[in-house]
Structures are given as structure tokens and as C-alpha cells.
Amino acid sequence: MTTVATDVAPPDARKAGRYVYGAAVFLLCAWVLVPLYFLLINTLSSPESVNTFPKAFIPEFDLGSLLFFASFAGMLDALKNSILVALLTMVLSIVVGAPAGYALSRFEFRGKELFRMLILLTRAFPLPLLALPLAVMFIRTGLDDTVIGLAMVHTTLAVPFAVLITFSLFSGIPLELEEAAWTLGCTRLTAFTKVVLPLILPGITASAIFAFVISWNEVFAAAVLTIENRTLTAFLLTNLETSPLHLKFAGGFILVVPALIFIFAVRKYLFAMWGIANR
Amino acid sequence: MAEIQIKNVAKQFGEYQALHDINLTIADQEFMVLLGASGCGKSTLLRIICGLETATTGEVWIGGRRVDHLAPKDRGISMVFQNYAVFPHLTVFENIGFGLRMQKMSNDEVKRRVERTATLMHIEQLLQRYSGELSGGQRQRVAVARALAMEPDVILMDEPLSNLDALLRMEMRAELKGVLAESKTTAIYVTHDQVEAMSMADRISVMHEGKIVQAASPIEVYRNPAAEFVASFIGNPPMNFLNATPAGDGKWSVAGNVVDGPRANGPLQFAIRPEDMQLSDAGLTATAKVVEPLGAHLLVTCELDGKMFRAVLDSDLTVNPGDALTLAPQADRVRWFDPGTTLAVA
């Protein structure tokens, strides 16, 4: 070996530092992964063995719990509602959020800072506070217990993130690119569709997926504003007391997995929103 | 034919007056350089001509047509940006062909024109690359090729070489000048680099604080600066200034010497370029402070009449700091300025 010793600290201290670092990393990983691991084990266990302890380290790969989940009355409808509401939320929050993000990054206007703060303030009010007046209003307008009504509420939750993510995306695209397109024969619209859109499409997709996850995981508004057309979260919540343990595990698993996969897929853009450099 | 006329153009950003009543005519096929320090309004003027910025008042005419109300795409111009603005999601071929495709040109025609301009800019082997795979100099070539492929009446360039390293800049400077002369387009070129301006321009417009101080040929701007600002901005090192007081009819007293000058009411500023000074038996007496042997010549910074004074001397001379020098100005190169108006006095 021809490595050059550049360390200043004595070897012992460095070794100890490495152990502490390793232990901290291990603890943090365990904090996140152990519950997920139990969720996975229990979901893939037969309904009978869910309550047993200790658990086998390797899952049984018994689909009994999942099959029971699928055959539970109303469960598949709830799953379908969840997907519908989430898809609608995704579309609405991009349609509303992306133009706002573009305007924030490209134009100077009065009250721009105030507007940015207001966007964040929409998340300052706890949903329970808003749910009751919303429910009353929805009943009056006939929006209660509909997929579109719930999607609108979820959109208000997702829009701040859509605006912030698209704002940082648009800001990352030099104005000169658009100006170059204008001088080369584009209007504002064609410059957008031919130059800006192709460049931010991956980011827009990420922002859309994030909106999907927000709606997918939301339980309070869903529980208050729907009765017949419950989403999966609301359905599981209302059946929490009566349903057997393995049904809860299967439901939890079905809820967690798509959210995890999606968030993992778009992590780069979420880091960008929070200003963390990713590698 | 694309003569450009700028009539009474002014631009205000809130309280700040970026341009004051600009009037300028640029002849067909002329290479006009807008030269000035940063913040002098040269880029703003270019962007107004381009249509990326609207003038607060005034008119812009290109080829006998008033264009200041038109979108950039309808003005018959193309622009080369400082940061190149090469579209990262398109290949070099599609970048150069972008404007042609917007005009719904046939595939054959696009291919023909792209290949011709790419050959002209020596990037024909890069056509399938993306901008991320190009060096700064190559991106610059793509940006110029993209502008030329449009076969515009007017080509506008906003500090196109400022992001390149020194050697590449010199090479591109000569190449751009050749290509543009060949293309027979009218060109407006913005820069803060006086060497670029001197070497490329047919005419230089020197701008200062939102005004055009002088618009003339490079040699005229260098030899006969219209104002003190031009004299001290152009030339490296810049012109020297000394105080002159009246000493009778057409005679002026400069640092204890009497020299011939214009008939005017005093006091004036006596100005001379550093290379127009010679060591002599009679003349201005100076004390050498710093001596810089630059190979081609010797740059001596001295103190003269309480002011800093630079002289460019023959590199064979031996001058040491502290030496007393007698410097004779070349009489026909002396210029005079009015300290009140800062304008040249004939």
C-alpha cells in the first residue's frame, strides 16, 4: 500500500468516531425499517399466525391475509375510490400549481412575497378545523360523498407542494433559453411547449406523483366528507375496531407500498424543493 | 437591405433611467459594437432592438420598417446570447435547425442549411451531440451557427465571447469577424472588452451612463476621443491627463512647460496617450515610480505635476524607480478637454 497518512487525530479516536457514526446510521435505519419489516412479515403471514410471537425472520409468503383483504366487502371499492381521488388530485394540483409556479419564477408582481407566504399558510390551518364547515358547504352544494369533492379538498392540500416544486423547477431553467426560442420564431406559448416543457417534464411528473401520495395517505378529510364512497384510508379507519388484525396489516401494507415506491422514485425533486443537494 | 435606426429611445426601470434619448443609425451590413462598462445600458439597448425589452419612449426601425411594436420573431433578427442558450434537450443539429423548423421549412432544406452553417462554424462532426457533451467554445459555435442558419437581416450578439478563455476568445474573434463579413448581415455586438471592440468593429458606439458618448470608427475613437470618458476608457493603459492653465494667446502652461494649444478660455485638460511620449532633452519632468518591462515595450508609471502619469517607452532603455525622466509629447497627438463639460476642445 502506498497511501499517504494525512490524518491528524490519533487512530484510536478516529476508530471510536467511526463506531459512533456506524451506530447512529444503524439506529436511524432500524427506526425506519423495522416497522416496515414487521408490516411485511405480518402481511405475508397466514391469518392464523399473525398473532404469534416470536416472528419467523423469513416471511411465510402466505397470501391468505391479502386474499382475505381483497374479498372483504367494500374493500376493493374503497381501493378504487382511493385511486380515483388520488388521480384527480394529481391532475388538479398540477393544473393549478404549475402555472402558479411559472408565474412566481418568471414574473415580478406586487405581493409576490405575500403570495408565496399565503401558499404555505394554507398548510397552517389544521384540517379538523376546516372539515366541519367544509362538510356543511359540501352538503349544501351536493359535493359531499363524491370523488370530485374529496379530490378538491386533497388538491388544496397538495397545491402548496406543487407550486413550490414547480417554482424551483422553472427557476432552474435559464430565461435565456426561452428568449432564444422567442428570437427563433416562437411565441410565448410555443417557446413553452417546445423548450420549457420538455425540460421540466420529469419534474412535473415527480410533483404529480407527490400530489398522488398526499391524497393517497390523507385520512381525516376522507373520513369526514365521505360515507358511501370511502377511500381506502377512511374505510380502514372506520373498520379499525371491528376488523381482525391481519386485515389491518394487509390494509396498511397496501397503503404504504405505493407511497414508498413513489416517494423513492421522486426523492431527487423533493430534495430540490427543500434545497438539499442530492447526489 | 437592413439599415437600423434608433430614434429617441429611452428606457426607465422604475426610478432608474437606464437609457437617455438614444439616436443611432447603423448602416446596412455594418458591424457596430456597443462598448461600455457594465451597467451603462448597452445590453438594454440591444434587448430593445431585439424585442426582449420594450422602450419607454422612442422608435426602432429595421430595413425601413418600424418594429418596436413587433414580437422578436417578426423583426428579422437573430440573437447570440452570452450564456449561449443552447437547448439542452436537443441535438446540435436540432438546435441549429430549431428556427428553420419553426418556419415550417422542408426537411431537405433544414438539412441543407444546418449542414452549411455547421461547416462554416467547423462543427459538422458534432451534429449528433447534446450540449452537455460540448465544451464552452463548441457551444459558442453552435449558438452562432443557430443564429446564422436563420439567414437574418440583423444579427445581435450580447457579449458572446466573454465566457471563453483568453486564447479561444482571440481565435473566435477573428473567425466571427470573417464569418459575419461573409454573411453580409448587419451586426450589433455588445461588449465591455475594448480589444474586441477595436479589432472587430466597423464603428464603435461608446456608451456611458445610458448615453452614447461617441459613435465613430475604432481609430477615430482611439485618436480623437470626443470626451474624457472615452479617452480614459479606451486604450490600455488609458490616456494621461494633466492640468493646463492659460499662458497667453493659444499658449498653455502644463507642469511648468508652455505648449501650443487651442484658443479657448481656460483652464483645460492636456491629454496624451502613453505611447506618444518620448525620452528627450526638453519636455515634462517626471519621476519614475514603477517600471514594468513588458517585453515589447517598457511601461513606466511616474509622478508628474502631482498626478500619476504613464509612458510606454522603448524596451531597450534602462529606467529605474526614482529616476528623473524628461518626456516630450508628440505634438500632433496632444488632445485637449474642457474640465467643465468633459468634452474635447479643438
Q: What is the CATH number of the domain that holds B37?
A: 3.40.50.300
Count of structural domains, chain B: 2
Is B21 in the same domain as B158? Answer: yes
Alpha-carbon gap, residue A250 to A43, rounded angstroms: 5
pLDDT at residue number A177? 92
What is the CATH number for B287? 2.40.50.140
| A185 inside 8 A of chain B by CB | yes
**Contact between B334 and B239 (Cβ < 8 Å):** no
Measured between CA atoms, the residue of chain A closest to residue B151 is: A184
Minimum distance, in Å, between the CA of residue A96 and any CA atom of chain B: 26
Is B156 in the same domain as B217? Answer: yes
Is B313 in the same domain as B172? Answer: no
pLDDT at residue number A227? 79
Residues of B in contact with A194 (CB under 8 A): 98
* Phi, psi of B171, deg, nearest 5: -65, -45
Is B274 in the same domain as B193? Answer: no
pLDDT at residue number A278? 39
Q: Given an 8 Å threshold on Cβ–Cβ distance, is A184 in contact with B51?
A: no
Q: b/e string for A17-53 if b means 16 or more Cβ within 10 A?
A: eeeeeeeeeeeeeeeeeeeeeebbbbbbbebebbeee
This prediction has a pTM of 0.77
Reply yes or no on whether the pLDDT at A53 is more than 80: no
User: Among residues of chain A, what percentage have pLDDT more than 90?
Assistant: 15
Is this complex's ipTM strictly greater than 0.90?
no
pLDDT at residue number A1? 44
Out of A183, A187, A194, name the one closest to residue B78 (CB): A183
Residues of A in contact with B72 (CB under 8 A): 179, 182-183
The model's pLDDT over A164-173, given as tens digits with 9 standing for 90+, comes to 888 888 888 8
Q: Given an 8 Å threshold on Cβ–Cβ distance, is B72 in contact with A198?
A: no
Mean pLDDT across A41-54: 74
Domains and CATH numbers, chain A: 11-65 (no CATH), 74-274 (1.10.3720.10)
Domain limit, last residue, from B190, B215, B232: B232
> In 10 A of CB B297, how many CB atoms?
17
Is B258 in the same domain as B154? Answer: no
**Contact between A251 and A232 (Cβ < 8 Å):** yes
- For the four alpha carbons of B195, B200, B202 and B205, in that order, the dihedral sign comes to negative
* Phi, psi of B256, deg, nearest 5: 90, -10
User: 194-253 in A: which are within 8 Å (CB) of B?
Assistant: 194-195, 198-199
Out of B51, B85, B89, name the one closest to residue A180 (CB): B85
Residues of B in contact with A183 (CB under 8 A): 50-52, 72-73, 77-79
Q: Beta strand B57-62 with B4-13: parallel, antiparallel or unpaired?
A: antiparallel
Residue B3 in grid coordinates: 439599415
> In 10 A of CB B340, how many CB atoms?
8
Alpha-carbon gap, residue B273 to A124, rounded angstroms: 68
pLDDT at residue number A116? 83
Is B288 in the same domain as B274? Answer: yes
Minimum distance, in Å, between the CA of residue B77 and any CA atom of chain A: 7
| A184 inside 8 A of chain B by CB | yes
* Long-range contacts formed by B257-262: CB under 8 A, 24+ apart: B257/B283, B257/B284, B259/B329, B259/B331, B259/B334, B260/B331, B261/B334, B261/B336, B262/B336, B262/B345, B262/B346
Is B122 in the same domain as B11? Answer: yes
pLDDT at residue number B81? 92
Is B188 in the same domain as B254? Answer: no
Domain limit, last residue, from B232, B254, B286: B232
Contacts across the A-B interface (CB distance below 8 Å): 55
Reply yes or no on whether the pLDDT at A279 is more than 80: no
Residues of A in contact with B150 (CB under 8 A): 184
Residues of B in contact with A198 (CB under 8 A): 89
Is B42 in the same domain as B140? Answer: yes
- For the four alpha carbons of A172, A178, A179 and A181, in that order, the dihedral sign comes to positive
Residues of B in contact with A187 (CB under 8 A): 71, 73
Domain that holds residue B254: 237-345
Closest by CA position to B233, among listed B22, B34, B30, B5: B34
Q: Given an 8 Å threshold on Cβ–Cβ distance, is B73 in contact with A179?
A: no
Q: Given an 8 Å threshold on Cβ–Cβ distance, is B85 in contact with A195?
A: no
The model's pLDDT over A146-183, given as tens digits with 9 standing for 90+, comes to 888 889 888 988 888 888 888 888 888 889 999 999 99
pLDDT at residue number A87? 92
Is B179 in the same domain as B320? Answer: no
Q: Given an 8 Å threshold on Cβ–Cβ distance, is A186 in contact with B89?
A: no
**Contact between B197 and B204 (Cβ < 8 Å):** yes
Alpha-carbon gap, residue A265 to A270, rounded angstroms: 10
Residue A4: band (very low, low, confident or very high) from pLDDT cuts 50, 70, 90: low
Q: How many helices (H) and strands (E) does chain A have?
A: 13, 0
Closest by CA position to A165, among listed A115, A108, A218, A104: A104
Task: Select the more confidently predicted residue: B216 or A250.
Answer: B216
Q: Given an 8 Å threshold on Cβ–Cβ distance, is A182 in contact with B103?
A: no
Task: Select the more confidently predicted residue: A276 or B49.
Answer: B49
| A174 inside 8 A of chain B by CB | yes
Mean pLDDT across A24-41: 88
Is B251 in the same domain as B171? Answer: no
Reply yes or no on whether the pLDDT at A7 is more than 70: no
Closest by CA position to B9, among listed B64, B47, B38: B47
DSSP A173: S
The model's pLDDT over A107-128, given as tens digits with 9 standing for 90+, comes to 888 888 888 888 878 777 777 7
pLDDT at residue number A255? 83
Mean pLDDT across A247-274: 77
Region of B151 on the Ramachandran plot (φ > 0 left; ψ -120 to 50 alpha; else beta): left
Residue A168 in grid coordinates: 424551483
Measured between CA atoms, the residue of chain B closest to residue A190 is: B102
Helix (H, G, I), strand (E, B) or coil at A217: helix
Residues of B in contact with A184 (CB under 8 A): 73, 78, 98-99, 102, 146, 150
Is B276 in the same domain as B201? Answer: no
| A117 inside 8 A of chain B by CB | no
Q: Given an 8 Å threshold on Cβ–Cβ distance, is A174 in contact with B73?
A: no
Minimum distance, in Å, between the CA of residue A277 and any CA atom of chain B: 20
Alpha-carbon gap, residue A144 to A148, rounded angstroms: 9
Domain limit, last residue, from B215, B232, B249: B232
Sites in chain B below the pLDDT cut of 50: none
Minimum distance, in Å, between the CA of residue B188 and any CA atom of chain A: 15
Minimum distance, in Å, between the CA of residue A175 and any CA atom of chain B: 9
